[in-house]
Structure 1
Amino acid sequence: MKKKKAFMLSLLLVVTLVFVGCSQVNNNLSEPNNTNSGEESTSKPAEETIKITAYMSSFGDDPKETELYKLWKEKMEAYIGKKLDIEWIYVNSDDYPEKVKLTLASGDTPDIMSGVKDAEVMFQFGNQGSLLDIAPYLDEYAPNYKAYLESTKFSDKSMYTPEGKMFFFGDGFRNDTGLAGSAYPALYRFDVFQKHNIKVPENWDEFYDAAVKLKELYPDSYPVNSQEWPKFIDALALSNHTKSDIYWNGEKYVYGPTEESFKEGLMYIRKLYDEKLLDPEFLSQSQDQLKAKVTTGKSFMLPLAWAGWWEQYSVPDQGVSWGAAVNPKNEKYGDQWVLGPALLGHTIYANYGVMVSKNTKYPELIVKMLDYQYSDEMIDLMHWGVEGKTYQVVDGKKEFINKNGDWQEKKDLNGDGTTRQGFVFAPQNYSTDYIAYKKVQFFAKGQFEEMRPQEGMGKFTNSETAIAPYEQAPVIRLSKEDEAKKSQIMTAVQTYMDENIYKFLLGERDLSEWDAFKKELSEIGDYQSIVDMMNAQVSK
């Protein structure tokens, strides 16, 4: 009887506790906690916060103060499932290369650091143990970056050490336009060409004929001119498929200035010079001096120039109108190469990028974060911004919103035009780079059409043949001793070459002495031994 009574009391106690507990849960669901209003319940486990330090190259305003930074941080935190407490250390881009070397040498390295242009510096400190080898993390934590590597020619040689180590995320570049555009077309004064019914040149023979005609019409002019950079000789080198230095020709490294195609380019320029079709100051004038000539009817043709100059060269109220066209081609060598082409697809450049400290507490997490910057989602955010605020979709294509022509919408989201977001250097995006250029009258295939210069260069050149082989060459990693040898020999050779090229162009030395010049060049320095050394590295 006592046992039965005790059992009944125990059962009553359990029921009472359950009832009270349920009532308390219901009360908690229906009544917010007044001491924690607007925040998550304290009964929920706190989200983990990761604290890291980022040492970045700075190009403009403080990114942390922009709306785009807040969006970037939100997406990054959602992707990794953790909160981020980032200490950002920004260094002016001009000072950064030297300061980051001191930081790396100190041994007290931040978790994440901007890369530098000289990849050898990153390989050096990586081999010394300052940087994380990210290669073992690629398969599991970096699918986006790995896809970039796999679509980049010679990435196995340019991004890895001989032992298979990788010490930095390379500089990414996305071009989903299908066009290998260039910001360096030819520029012509179209109002003069149209007034006199002169054909806009498509090859060097037509270029010469146009110059002769303009000289007849304007005898006090020098119809042809050239910028400080790119140089006139660069235009001929591109059309003649050569270069004024050691370069990769698609099969091996060669020394361009000793090739017959390079000499042919010099002969063409010399012909223009001798016939007073080319400004005699084309090698020494400043950009301001050139601008004064092209805006006052002293010159009408630039075979290779930065596209943005057409607007500064035009004087609308005086009828001076400059436009763009594809650079002249040499029919002997086929389609011309273009300067600074936008490589197609997803590409990695073996420079800049981002480094990770060997001492970081979170290698997997940081590799995952850096990889996310190579995703289409993050690239679109960082370069296009927010739909409805900075861009809109028209006929299935993104277009920036620029109501007043001052790009205020982009500035409101991301500060000034040079501000770089995220872990610098994050991948670049070609379609948002070129779209900021103004449209220009572009001539091709017998007609004028208004478009951005890069669009014209991409549309009217063959994307498969416009890209010079050296734009996707295997990167050579020489030993410290071999690099010093190369520098010593090639500095002397290039200096002598430059001095004599100017003499050939200005008539101070006759081109009949070309073979003698090549012999002199080999005596100044054994450039062929450097070429052979580089090719030996490729074959390894």
Structure 2
Amino acid sequence: MKKTSLILFSLMLVATFALAGCSGNNENKPADTGNSGENAPPAGSNEESIKIQAYMSSFGDDPRETELYKLWKEKMEQHIGKKLDIEWIYVNSDDYPEKIKLTLASGDTPDIMSGVKDAEVMFQFGNQGALLDIAPYLDEYAPNYKKYLESTKFSDKSMYTPEGKMFFFGDGFNNDTGLAGSAYPALYRFDIFEKHNIKIPENWDEFYDAAKRLKELYPDSYPVNAQEWPKFWDATSLSNHTKNDIYWNGQEYVYGPMEESFKEGLMYIRKLYDEKLLDPEFLSQSQDQLQAKVTTGKSFMIPIAWAGWWEKYSVPTEGVEWGAAVNAKNENYGDQWVLGPALLGQTIFPNYGVMISKKTKYPELIIQLLDYQYSPEMVDLMHWGVEGKTYEMVDGKREFINESGEWEELSAFGLGEPWTRQGFVYAPQNYSTDYIKYKKVKFYANGSIEEIRPQEGMGRLDSEKVIPPYEQSPVIRLSKQDEAKKAQVMTAVSTYLDENIYKFLLGERDFSEWDDFKNELANIGDYQSIVDMMNEQLSQ
């Protein structure tokens, strides 16, 4: 029976390769073969079928009945050359962090487990012997994952213990678009700007000039407004190359609010407020209140916002047309940083991942299974699906087949909503299939308007220079005692900071008091000791 099964399996593989050869040579199409060929199945068990238990965090419906799951499982079996009998245990994502800790502490650990957001938990239980150290297996059994590690800044510190052990596969992120495009541009009333021949701003001087002109044309308006989040000072901080917290500046950790560039951004906002160019309720209004104003001609400019709001702010039947543009820059600081950029290439997020039990009977096979999820063919399958069924080629680029516009067809296949991710989560995410779900918007960049997706518009910026250094900072793993000290100090400091930012912006404090404020803040909490503590960790 065993010999017959192996012969049949070999014939199935031959047929699969034959069909793949007939399908044409399209590098954008997910491969039809399961084994990437980069490494052979590991030596070990001679079983034709292996039974494993997977304990997974769930974000929605059970994916096991979808066509995508069945394709995923089929390719996984082809990859390792064995049938998989997987016992799935799905736990709601809200309950998962506590339940996985109890499972790890019990000693009765499933073969594969979703990680938790707190990497320290995984390091803790790994050092206690509950988790497999995967580092010794990487060269032979995890070539795809190793590429992600090698292309991620500071992965040598963030993913390994000081002794060189690694206890989880980090959450992968693949961006092959060449764009670090953000989903947080500036938004403008394009119809009003066009009607009065006002230039869409590219820097803060032009932003101010446009606001002044609009105030002249519409005296009852407040031309500039802002969302509850991102906040106005997020835009000025990005353009001024700072942040309203401790951040990595590319060389060391610093406390942004004490930098002159942060104060400079606040002073610019205060100037707009004092001249009645900025809505006085910009710090207190609800999203509904803001939307009522921007759809009725009360405000025309938002310096930074989630790109999807342009559609809600537009009223086509009344000629109200909002569009997007790159965020205003401060010429003194060069290229503006962007909020939430997609890191280029293949990267690892060090606070999520997948763990393997130290007790598993199949360490090599399971590492191969997890590694295969990082392969180009599996990333394509799990995010794009199948050409002709879920996506098609349009002008040399992939576009989802989505006739309804609401993703029902893709959800039924296993893509889109609900957001339970296929396979052993967290499998790598794919940027190209994320931004393509955004609707195209009229976008201004480099002197012209084009109807494109907002990330493509933001991608007109220099993708290497717009990524804030803190988006790729070294991970500082503090002791529990130091982490508690940091939380205590920075909670008090952040609270006092926010209270006084409001006062400076609304005229309750004058900027001549800024030095006094800095001294007050230092007395509230010794933030510099926390900065020093974090920088000391870098040298260890």
Range with bigger deviation, 469-478 or 402-411: 402-411
Deviation at 1:341, TM superposition (A): 0.5
Query: How do 1:46-445 residues align onto structure 2 when only pairs under 5 Å count?
Result: 48-414=48-414, 416-445=417-446
CA offsets, 1:455-483, max 9 Å, x none? 0001x211111001111100001111111
The residue type equivalent to 2:429 in the other structure is Q
Deviation at 1:407, TM superposition (A): 2.9
CA offsets, 1:341-379, max 9 Å, x none? 111110011111211112222111111100000000100
The residue type equivalent to 2:231 in the other structure is K
* Kept after mapping to 2: 8 A contact 1:55/1:110: yes
Runs (5+) with no aligned partner, structure 1:
1-45
Match of 2:454 in 1: 453
Alignment partner of 2:331: what SS? coil
* Kept after mapping to 1: 8 A contact 2:222/2:278: yes
Match of 1:465 in 2: 465
The residue type equivalent to 2:453 in the other structure is R
* Kept after mapping to 2: 8 A contact 1:171/1:352: yes
CA offsets, 1:276-298, max 9 Å, x none? 11111111212111111111111
Runs of 4 or more consecutive aligned structure 1 residues displaced over 4 Å after TM superposition: none
Range with bigger deviation, 406-415 or 287-296: 406-415
* Kept after mapping to 2: 8 A contact 1:187/1:325: yes
The residue type equivalent to 2:288 in the other structure is D
Which structure is larger by alpha-carbon Rg, 1 or 2? 1
Match of 1:16 in 2: none
Match of 2:497 in 1: 497
Q: Distance in 1 between matches of 2:94 and 2:320?
A: 38
The residue type equivalent to 1:131 in the other structure is L
User: What is the alpha-carbon root mean square deviation over aligned residues?
Assistant: 1.3
Q: Distance in 2 between matches of 1:259 and 1:539?
A: 24
Q: Distance in 1 between matches of 2:303 and 2:95?
A: 35
Q: Distance in 2 between matches of 1:184 and 1:349?
A: 21
Q: TM-score, normalised by structure 1?
A: 0.90
Q: Distance in 2 between matches of 1:205 and 1:352?
A: 42
Alignment partner of 2:333: what SS? coil
Deviation at 1:405, TM superposition (A): 2.5
* Kept after mapping to 1: 8 A contact 2:59/2:418: no
Q: Distance in 2 between matches of 1:224 and 1:121?
A: 45
Q: Distance in 1 between matches of 2:538 and 2:115?
A: 25
The residue type equivalent to 2:476 in the other structure is I
CA offsets, 1:81-122, max 9 Å, x none? 111111111112222222222222222221111112222222
* Kept after mapping to 2: 8 A contact 1:182/1:453: yes
Q: Distance in 1 between matches of 2:146 and 2:68?
A: 26
Deviation at 1:327, TM superposition (A): 0.2
* Kept after mapping to 2: 8 A contact 1:389/1:409: no
Q: Distance in 1 between matches of 2:187 and 2:124?
A: 43
Identity across the alignment (%): 83
* Kept after mapping to 1: 8 A contact 2:240/2:261: yes
CA offsets, 1:177-212, max 9 Å, x none? 111111000011111111111111000011011111
Deviation at 1:442, TM superposition (A): 0.2
Q: Distance in 2 between matches of 1:413 and 1:114?
A: 23
Match of 2:522 in 1: 522
The residue type equivalent to 1:155 in the other structure is S
Alignment partner of 1:348: what SS? strand
Q: Distance in 2 between matches of 1:93 and 1:290?
A: 32
Q: Distance in 2 between matches of 1:506 and 1:354?
A: 47
Alignment partner of 2:335: what SS? coil
Deviation at 1:250, TM superposition (A): 0.4
Deviation at 1:47, TM superposition (A): 6.3
The residue type equivalent to 2:406 in the other structure is D
CA offsets, 1:415-438, max 9 Å, x none? 634231001111000111100110
The residue type equivalent to 2:441 in the other structure is V
Q: Distance in 2 between matches of 1:498 and 1:408?
A: 42
| Matched residue count | 494
Runs (5+) with no aligned partner, structure 2:
1-45
Q: Distance in 2 between matches of 1:396 and 1:157?
A: 39
Q: Distance in 1 between matches of 2:177 and 2:521?
A: 43
Q: TM-score, normalised by structure 2?
A: 0.90
* Kept after mapping to 2: 8 A contact 1:48/1:83: yes
The residue type equivalent to 2:299 in the other structure is S
The residue type equivalent to 2:423 in the other structure is G
Deviation at 1:127, TM superposition (A): 1.9
Deviation at 1:149, TM superposition (A): 0.3
Q: Distance in 1 between matches of 2:169 and 2:492?
A: 34
Range with bigger deviation, 385-394 or 88-97: 88-97
